Structure formats: structure tokens, C-alpha cells
Copies of this chain bind each other. A is one copy, B any other.
Amino acid sequence: MTKKYVYFFGKGNSEGNASMKSILGGKGANLADMASLDLPVPPGFTITTEACAEYTEIGEKKLFAKIDKEVMEQLKKLEKVTGKTFGKGPNPLLVSVRSGAAASMPGMMDTILNLGLNDETITAMIKLTKNERFVWDSYRRFMQMFSDVVLGVEHDHFEHALESLKKKKKAKLDTDLTAADLKALVAEYKAIVKRDTKKEFPQDPVEQLWNGVRAVFSSWNNPRAEKYRQLNDIRGLLGTAVNIQSMVFGNGGDDCATGVAFTRDPSTGANEYFYGEFLINAQGEDVVAGIRTPQQITLAGSKAWAKNQSVTEATRKSKFPSLEEAMPKCFKELDAIKTKLEKHYKDMQDLEFTIEKGVLYMLQTRNGKRTAQAAVKIATDLVKEKLIDEKTAVLRIEPASLDQLLHPVFVKASEAKAVKIVTGLPASPGSATGQVVFNAEEAEKWSKAGKDVILCRIETSPEDITGMHVSKGVLTARGGMTSHAAVVARGMGTCCVAGCSDIVMDYAKKCFTVGKVVVKEGDWISLNGSIGAVYKGKVETVDPALTGPFGDIMKLADKYKKIGVRTNADTPHDTEVAVKFGAEGIGLCRTEHMFFEPDKIISFRRMILVAETVKKIKEDHGVKSVYDLKTGKDCCMNKEEAAAVVQYKQALDELLPLQRKDFLGIFKALEGRPAIIRLLDPPLHEFLPAKENVAGQKEMAKTMGVSVAKIQELVDANHEFNPMLGLRGCRLGIIFPEVTEMQARAIVEAAAAVKGSHPEIMIPIVGNVKELINQKEICKKVIAQVEKEKKIKINVMIGTMIEVPRAAMTADEIATEAEFFSFGTNDLTQMGCGFSRDDAGKFLKDYVKLGIYEYDPFVVLDQGGIGRLVKTAVEYGRKVNPKLPIGICGEHGGDPKTVEFCHNAGLTYVSCSPYRVPIARLAAAHAAIKQK
């Protein structure tokens, strides 16, 4: 059987149906479907997406030769069904040529209306309709669209001619132009075409048709469409279909109209009234073009609109009546169709219709685009209305979209009015308005003075953490979606726009510039972290609600999900937020963030200052821990050495109660939920002033009471060429075991003080089971000590991160010692792929563009590569201990695709930043439902 490329649609004649979206496109399939439902659909036919794919592959010439016969047959059929003739009188067949892919890509591809008009059919149409103005209007519209889309004549030339004419004729609206005006305009259009293309406007309707088809097929790969697919993650489609449909006219007089409508409110999801707009005596593009003010479909809608626009009821009724009032019969019919379609498609629909001489025609129906708020409301409502079941409702909500519901958001109208300065990466969602500052200290100072600040940096570093914490938002010029700023901000739930490469920061002059725009310290700006926009001045915000339909959907998600959802939280506040968002515990509590607080960093720096000296003393004395060194007279140390030992111990003694306090707050906030606490992870240099930060070095020297040279020496000694692969994680705990001891003690003492707490100690950067054994031994010893001191039993699990590839490859060995695994997929990706998170931005964008990686592997887990390491580790680990709890706590833990992967890989839980918890819960439910 030869392949069928063209499918007819029309009452009783449809060859396709709703299930054929992939080859007919959404529009084509639904037109066929609506026709089969006996709805008033102008007949036509659809050229398949497969033809589009071949168009790209074998080229226009070969494809058109292949489908020519079929198209001509369908055209004949269309003539027969409509009783009209294509390109000829007395009753000429005019058609629209419209794109339509399987996924909705509104406005991204090209459309031509009124095709089939030429100097000959014009005459026939005038004779037939006795409406000269309408025909000339249709002709000039057709010429305009066709010349732009097919012939590549600048759109502006036509607009300019139209505007000149309107000026000359003192016409306000297009509808004020007469038939004669329009006829003259057509003549002018023809001259423009001739001038620009050196050819006459094509008169052969068949030539017009093929040109239209070519234009639509070509538009599939136009940059705009490609960008749209990329942004909306639309993949795996063949191409666009082409729908050739017999025209009906909304511009044939005052008994004609055209409109678009949503069956429910696409912004809120409310099912109050039929939401939509229409225009009398107009064609499709006029409704969205904004030249004339559209009218509302329902009376209720119209009244609400009038109120909002401060239009009096008298004016409304006379100038902007609703369809319900203006064309009650058509409205009634449309309203019935609306109900029928919602029942049929079991979802909110987005409709297009045209009324020609009082007769209603349906031109399109599709599932309507909606905000996350509306999606949640509609899904829960449809369950109540028994149109869909719970699982379907859950699957209806795109997990990532929940993000919109969790952060304070700008009031739409206010944002629309704001002046955009620049666009960066949407690094951490939410909205923020504040005054610009350029360093962390200023941020703290201003914030203490009660000001809202936006911290602006070239890029952030751990030294900026406190400053970030007090800021309403963070803006950086460098760094990607997983840069320090982005990761930390998402963790904090702070809005962040990162990597605005057009910004030039000038710390010295305390300003940043974008082209000619200069923003100075203290200036107000607003960030929309969900889209990466930066605005001048203030934009109003509003808080989200977690109850109502949102709560209902989350309940359903929890009912169906199998995998647990924990959170990455480092502070009691983060923990509280996460618990509110439904976290079942902490999957990752990073203890290093705590060390950056001013009081702690001083003690810790004091320790680092003497750490090497103390290490050498221990080696000389052959002891493992500083506490095993003899002190006093017999100590065999010189004065300097003895002082170093004292300082080292003192620093640890200072840190212990501070750390314990952190954990106390977290355990309390968890109310009995488990908490995985990771021991110190980053390399020591992160706790010291940077090499370039001479001021910081001077300050540290002063605080420590040593020379600046000494501090510089320390900074140099702790410098690493590849700190990512340096002395960090358990390596630190092994070289400086007292730090592990102190941290373990802080955890266990805090746990002892909060009844019902469930601490789980996690050892980072383990690559070899012997590292784990070393650290576990220290922890076990401390636990036993504290149990003895406090005379209670404390249940502490000790497990490990799996983040070094070697750990994944030897997970069978590690599982003999680890009581749980947690995949640190950030580092596993860095080491497994050999990508430095801080540097890879340079080429990862190109890599995704070139298709080397489907997604940025730091955003969506690279399932084909790193995923194999994960699966290997799960398999090895569970072979040794079938009940081994295994989680994931990298940034990926909140990514829906990764959550699905984790569900399928048999993980016990995922852990993500507090604001991603609801997303992960929903994604987990999706995974479980899809699996069945």
C-alpha cells in the first residue's frame, strides 16, 4: 500500500480522527474529529506531517511530485462537497492554508487566508456576494499575507501603504475604508510586489496553493519556531501538517464575526463563564492585532470587562455588546458546542469560530494553554465534575509548572508596564524588588537598616552567603543555572537572575551598565527569577496560596507516588519551609554553610591557621588525634607547638556549641522526621579570603593577631589547581579527624536533646570503602561517648554520598559498611562527565545546541551516562544489602525527569531544595502512575 499523504475532513467525510495528531497535527486531527461530531466545520483536507518530514529530507521538488495527484484529487473533492470551483467563477472556492503540528505552537508558523483570489475570482465574488467592499478587503488581506509569507516582500511596505491611505482618507479603522479605497490599495499592493520581486503577483490559484504549502512547510524550521520548540522542550515531532480549508468569512458585513474563546478562564481556571472575545465584520488576525477593541462572548464577561475598563453600561451595550446580546442564536449554538467539546475532550478547550451571514462555523479546537494556577483548578474541578479520574488529574499538571505557585509573583499588570533592562537565566524562580548593592557587606548593612536589597555581583562565592541570605534577590553577570549563585539561591528560595552577560559590573564605581543604561547603588530594580527578566524600578508582588485546588492536587500526588521526597535544608528556616511544602525529612543538610556565619568562620579560620602545624606534631608524636597528645610538662613540644595545639583545640571547642545549636533548631523543625546531615565538604580555601581579596586577608590577619604575610602564606598553601578534586569531604575528616569528631558530637548531642529526632550522618566524597570505615569509626566512638555521658540510647545511621565514580563502581564494597547511600549527582556528573560546574558553561550551551547532550546534564540527570553509574551503584549496593535505603540529593532531585528516573531505578527517596518539594512530589506521582 502506498503511503497516504492527504486526509479529507468535513461533515460525514472525515478520513482522520483525534487519535491521529502525530500525522495530522493537532489542528487537522481535531477538525476531522469535530466534523465527525457533527459540528459545523468548513470542509477541507490536511497534508500530513510525514510530508513535511520528507519535504525537509528530499526537498520540495521531489515531494510535490509525489503528492501532487493526491492533493489535486482532494481539491476536486472539496470543490464537489462545497459546490464551488477553485480559481474560477461563478462560485469560487477560496481556502485558508494553515500550519498545525502535533504540539501547539501558537503563532510560530505561517498562515494564509483567502487563497484562491485573483483578478478573475474577484469579479465572480463581487457578483456573488454583492459586497464589493468585502471582496476587495479580502483580496488586500490575501495579498498582504501571501506576499509576506511566500514572496518575502517586507510586511512594512503594505502596512505603510495602508496607513497612508487611512491618513489620506481620514479613516480611523480599516472598516472605515470604502470598496473604492480598498480597490486602489490593491493596485498599490500589486505595484509593491512588482517593484520588490520583479514579477506580477501570481494569478494561478494552483500555483498560489503550492506556494502556500511550501511556505508552511518551510516555516517549521524558521528560527522562531525552532526557538519555541527549544524553549518549550518540544521534541520528536515529524514536522507541521498543512490544513487547507474552505474559507468562511467573518468580514462579510455586520452579520459576520470572528472570535476566539476558552471554555474556562485560562488565568485562574474558574468555570464562571465562557471566556473569549470576538469582532464583528473581521477576519481572524484582527482579533489579536489589537487595532479594534474586541467584544466579550458572554454578557457576564462583558459586564466584568466594562467594570474593569471603566466603561459605562450604556456605552458597553451600544458599542461593545456581548455575543450573547448581539447574536443570541449563534451564542446559544456556540455555548452548546463548548459543553459538547469539553465533555468530548475532557479538558478546557481553546476555540476559534467564525460567523458568516449569521451562520456559525468552528475553525479550531484544542486543549487550552493555561497558567499553573488554572491547570490545578481545572484538573481538580474536572475530577469533581466526574469528567476525569484522579490519576488523570495528577498527570494533567506539569510538575515544573508548580514553581509558579510557590514563590511571590509579580502582579501581571504591574510587570507588563515595567521597563525591562536585560534578560538573564531564570536561575531561581520568584520575584523580587529592591535597591541595588554590589557586595555582601553592604547587603547586610542595608538590610539591617530595614531596606530591601538586590545583591548584584559578577559572580557569587561562599563569602557572599550571608549577604545573599538577607537579599530579596540576586543578580549575577556570569555563571549558569548551576552556578554558585543559582544553586544557593534556589536552596534559599531566593529569587535569582544569573549570567546576564550583557551586564558590565563596575564595583569601583558602584554601578552596572547594560549598553547605555546605568544602574547605581541604591537604585530600585525588580527581578523575575522565573523568566530571567530584570526591570527598572519597583514591580508589585503577591503571595501564593498552598491550600485549595493546589492542596487537593498535592494530596492526590501523595496518594499515588511511591518514592519519598525529602529536602535539602541547612537551616531551621529552610526546614520549616520544606516541611510546609510536604518534605518527609531532610535528605541533605550541608554543614559547611553554617561555618560561613561570622562567629563560626573566625573559630574555623583559627583552626585552619594551625591545622598543618598540629598535623605535623601529631605525626612526630605518632598519635591520631590531637586529644591523644600529652600536654603540660611532659609534652615534648616547644612553646610554639604547644600554643598551636591549644589554639586548635580551643577553636574546636568554640565551634561545638555553635554547631549543636544549628542542629537543635533543625531537629525541632523536623518534628521527628529523619535528617541526613553531611559532614564538612568543601576544600579549606573556601573558608579563607580569596587570593585577590587583600582587604579580607588584612582583616583576617588582624582578627587572628598574625601578620598579613602569614595569612597570604596560608592562602597560598591552601590554593589548589582543581579544588573540585582536592582536599575536601572525608579527605579533610581523615587528615583532620578532630573536625569529624566535633561535628559528630554536635549532631549527637543535639539529637539527644530533642526527643524523637532521627539523625543520619553522611560521609561525603567517599571513593573507597576504607575512607568510610575510617570516618565511621570516629563517629561510632563519639556516639558511644555521648550515650555514656547522657545515659541514653541514640539511634544514628551512618551512610555515605555516592558522588565519586569510584564509589559507584565499588558500591558493593561500600554497602558492607554504609547504612544508606545518597547520590550526590552534582559531583557525580562533574567527575563522571569531567565537567567543572563552574567552567562548563563555556561549552555546555554549545553542546546542547549541537545535540551532544540532550539537556544540560547539571539540570536534567544524564541518564545514558551518569544514570548508568547510578544504576550500577544501586545494583551493587542492593546485591550486598537488599534493604539499603538509597536516595539522591543533588540539584537533580527536584527535576521531574530525574525524579521519574529515580523512581524507575528503585531509589528510596529524592531530596531537593524546599521550593522544589511539591514539584518532586508531583513528579513522583507521575512516575508511579506512568509505570503502571
Kindly state whether residue A836 has any CB partner on chain B within 8 Å: yes
| Residue among B723, B827, B865 making CB contact with A809, cutoff 8 Å | B865
Cα A446 to Cα B674 with chains together (Å): 68
> In the complex where A725-B830, A765-B834 touch, is A852 in contact with B771 (Cβ < 8 A)?
yes
* 11 further contact pairs, Cβ within 8 A, besides A722-B836, A806-B869: A722-B723, A723-B839, A724-B725, A726-B842, A767-B865, A768-B833, A770-B850, A805-B805, A805-B869, A806-B862, A809-B868
In the complex, the answer to whether A768 meets B853 with C-beta atoms within 8 Å is yes
In the complex, the answer to whether B722 meets A806 with C-beta atoms within 8 Å is no
Stretch of A28-36, A648-656, A727-735, A743-751 contacting B (4+ beta carbons < 8 Å): A727-735
Kindly state whether residue A37 has any CB partner on chain B within 8 Å: no
In the complex, the answer to whether A727 meets B868 with C-beta atoms within 8 Å is no
CB distance from A879 to the nearest CB of B (A): 14
**CB proximity to B under 8 Å, residues A864-883:** 864-866, 868-869, 872
| Residue among B723, B724, B806 making CB contact with A865, cutoff 8 Å | B806
**CB proximity to B under 8 Å, residues A757-814:** 765, 767-768, 770-771, 774, 803-806, 809-810, 813
> In the complex where A830-B725, A832-B809 touch, is A768 in contact with B840 (Cβ < 8 A)?
no
Kindly state whether residue A838 has any CB partner on chain B within 8 Å: yes
Chain B's closest residue to A866 (CB) is: B806
Kindly state whether residue A713 has any CB partner on chain B within 8 Å: no
Closest 8 CB pairs of A and B: A725-B836, A722-B836, A805-B805, A806-B865, A721-B838, A726-B839, A722-B724, A804-B834
In the complex, the answer to whether B735 meets A843 with C-beta atoms within 8 Å is yes
| Residue among B720, B727, B734, B839 making CB contact with A850, cutoff 8 Å | B734
CB distance from A506 to the nearest CB of B (A): 15
Residues of A within 8 A of B (CB): 720-727, 731, 734-735, 765, 767-768, 770-771, 774, 803-806, 809-810, 813, 827, 830-836, 838-840, 842-843, 846-847, 850-853, 862, 864-866, 868-869, 872
> In the complex where A768-B865, A809-B869 touch, is A734 in contact with B843 (Cβ < 8 A)?
yes
In the complex, the answer to whether B840 meets A726 with C-beta atoms within 8 Å is yes
Chain B's closest residue to A805 (CB) is: B805
Cα A765 to Cα B847 with chains together (Å): 14
Chain B's closest residue to A813 (CB) is: B864
CB distance from A223 to the nearest CB of B (A): 9
Chain B's closest residue to A812 (CB) is: B868
CB distance from A702 to the nearest CB of B (A): 25
Residues of B close to A840: CB separation below 8 A: 725-726
In the complex, the answer to whether B852 meets A833 with C-beta atoms within 8 Å is no
Residues of B close to A727: CB separation below 8 A: 839, 842-843
Most buried by B among A838, A842, A862: A842
Residues of B close to A847: CB separation below 8 A: 734
Residues of B close to A832: CB separation below 8 A: 804-806, 809, 831
CB distance from A282 to the nearest CB of B (A): 38
Residues of B close to A846: CB separation below 8 A: 734-735
In the complex, the answer to whether B843 meets A767 with C-beta atoms within 8 Å is no
| Residue among B720, B842, B852, B862 making CB contact with A770, cutoff 8 Å | B852
Cα A342 to Cα B721 with chains together (Å): 55
Cα A724 to Cα B850 with chains together (Å): 23
7 contacts between A and B (CB under 8 A): A722-B836, A725-B830, A725-B839, A734-B847, A813-B864, A831-B832, A831-B834
Cα A6 to Cα B775 with chains together (Å): 41
In the complex, the answer to whether B806 meets A834 with C-beta atoms within 8 Å is yes
CB distance from A459 to the nearest CB of B (A): 10
CB distance from A524 to the nearest CB of B (A): 31
Residues of B close to A805: CB separation below 8 A: 805, 831-834, 869
| Residue among B827, B869, B872 making CB contact with A834, cutoff 8 Å | B827
| Residue among B770, B813, B831 making CB contact with A831, cutoff 8 Å | B831
| Residue among B720, B831, B864 making CB contact with A839, cutoff 8 Å | B720
Residues of B close to A850: CB separation below 8 A: 734, 770, 774
Residues of B close to A803: CB separation below 8 A: 834
Cα A862 to Cα B771 with chains together (Å): 15
Residues of B close to A827: CB separation below 8 A: 834
Residues of B close to A723: CB separation below 8 A: 721-722, 836, 839
CB distance from A225 to the nearest CB of B (A): 15
Cα A862 to Cα B866 with chains together (Å): 21
Residues of B close to A726: CB separation below 8 A: 836, 839-840, 842
Cα A669 to Cα B840 with chains together (Å): 39
CB distance from A730 to the nearest CB of B (A): 10
Cα A806 to Cα B834 with chains together (Å): 8
In the complex, the answer to whether A852 meets B768 with C-beta atoms within 8 Å is yes
Cα A850 to Cα B843 with chains together (Å): 40
Residues of B close to A765: CB separation below 8 A: 834
CB distance from A734 to the nearest CB of B (A): 7
Chain B's closest residue to A720 (CB) is: B839
CB distance from A685 to the nearest CB of B (A): 11
Cα A51 to Cα B852 with chains together (Å): 63
Residues of B close to A771: CB separation below 8 A: 852
CB distance from A612 to the nearest CB of B (A): 10
Residues of B close to A724: CB separation below 8 A: 721-722, 724-725, 834, 836
| Residue among B734, B804, B838, B842 making CB contact with A722, cutoff 8 Å | B838
In the complex, the answer to whether A835 meets B774 with C-beta atoms within 8 Å is no
Cα A71 to Cα B254 with chains together (Å): 124
Residues of B close to A770: CB separation below 8 A: 850-852
| Residue among B725, B767, B810, B842 making CB contact with A868, cutoff 8 Å | B810
| Residue among B767, B768, B831, B836 making CB contact with A721, cutoff 8 Å | B836
In the complex, the answer to whether B809 meets A852 with C-beta atoms within 8 Å is no
Cα A872 to Cα B875 with chains together (Å): 15
CB distance from A463 to the nearest CB of B (A): 15
> In the complex where A805-B832, A846-B735 touch, is A721 in contact with B865 (Cβ < 8 A)?
no
Chain B's closest residue to A766 (CB) is: B834
Cα A839 to Cα B735 with chains together (Å): 14
Chain B's closest residue to A719 (CB) is: B839
> In the complex where A723-B721, A731-B843 touch, is A864 in contact with B810 (Cβ < 8 A)?
yes
Residues of B close to A804: CB separation below 8 A: 832-834
Cα A112 to Cα B840 with chains together (Å): 66
Residues of B close to A838: CB separation below 8 A: 720-722
> In the complex where A774-B852, A843-B734, A852-B768 touch, is A725 in contact with B809 (Cβ < 8 A)?
no
CB distance from A832 to the nearest CB of B (A): 5
Residues of B close to A842: CB separation below 8 A: 726-727, 735
In the complex, the answer to whether B865 meets A810 with C-beta atoms within 8 Å is yes
Chain B's closest residue to A844 (CB) is: B731
Cα A484 to Cα B786 with chains together (Å): 47
CB distance from A284 to the nearest CB of B (A): 33
Chain B's closest residue to A717 (CB) is: B842
Chain B's closest residue to A768 (CB) is: B852
Residues of B close to A843: CB separation below 8 A: 727, 731, 734-735
In the complex, the answer to whether B734 meets A852 with C-beta atoms within 8 Å is yes
Most buried by B among A765, A803, A835, A866: A835
Cα A720 to Cα B830 with chains together (Å): 14
Chain B's closest residue to A484 (CB) is: B721
Residues of B close to A774: CB separation below 8 A: 850, 852
Residues of B close to A866: CB separation below 8 A: 806
Cα A862 to Cα B834 with chains together (Å): 19
Cα A872 to Cα B873 with chains together (Å): 14
CB distance from A304 to the nearest CB of B (A): 48
CB distance from A738 to the nearest CB of B (A): 15
Residues of B close to A831: CB separation below 8 A: 725, 805, 831-832, 834
Residues of B close to A852: CB separation below 8 A: 734, 768, 770-771, 774
Residues of B close to A839: CB separation below 8 A: 720-723, 725-727
| Residue among B731, B768, B806, B833 making CB contact with A767, cutoff 8 Å | B833
Cα A803 to Cα B770 with chains together (Å): 24
CB distance from A558 to the nearest CB of B (A): 34
CB distance from A499 to the nearest CB of B (A): 15
Cα A770 to Cα B862 with chains together (Å): 14
CB distance from A766 to the nearest CB of B (A): 10
